[in-house]
Amino acid sequence: MIYEGPTEEKITRGRIKFEVEKNLLGNTIVIADSLNYIKGFRYQMHCIAREQKTTYCMLFCNTSPERAA
């Protein structure tokens, strides 16, 4: 599982960041969906979009799984 421990989670966040940076070009729409509960990681995603001078929308849904279902 990719969120079993801090090491696996860090690797997963790095991979997500890499894929977003790689694919955020031109008229491409990128949807990155993961457990991005870390404020610093969300800020990194914001900075990537800003560097590319692209329009972006970031959603952070802080709700319980029961309520989300």
Where do the domains of the chain lie?
6-68
Higher pLDDT, 25 or 17: 17
SS3 content of the chain, % helix, strand, coil (to 5): 50, 0, 50
State residue 7's pLDDT score. Answer: 87
Question: For residue 39, is pLDDT > 90?
Answer: no
Question: For residue 69, is pLDDT > 90?
Answer: no
Q: In the predicted model, what is the mean pLDDT of the chain?
A: 82
Minimum mean pLDDT range among 11-20, 47-56, 57-66: 57-66
CA distance 53 to 16: 19
